[in-house]
Amino acid sequence: MARLVDQIKEALAAFKCLKTPPALIGGLALAAHNVVRATQDVDFLADAADADALDAILLDLGYRCLHRSEDAANYLRGDDGMDFLFAHRPST
């Protein structure tokens, strides 16, 4: 779990330059609600308008893009996975 926490901290620090920072979702987000779920990657919800900037940030951090579409993207660095779902509506 410590590896995933370090991965989240690194990602959030790198995402500070974005207008709308991504939100943690998925299995790790459930931990805030005392729900334990085995997970092997970090999942974020991000503004679709930030997809290109996120891609550049992650490539600079050493991740490689496994898949990217207008709705989702998957990245891997060693055994560290990071997935994004892209929101197409304005945040409120």
Q: Where are the domains of the chain?
A: 2-87
Q: Check if CATH label 3.30.460.40 holds for domain 2-87.
A: yes
Cβ neighbourhood burial of 19 (10 Å; 0-12, 13-18, 19+): exposed
Model pLDDT, residue 91: 61
More confident residue, 18 or 34: 18
More confident residue, 67 or 41: 67
pLDDT band of residue 3 (cuts 50, 70, 90) is confident
Interval 43-66: pLDDT, tens? 899 999 999 999 999 999 999 999
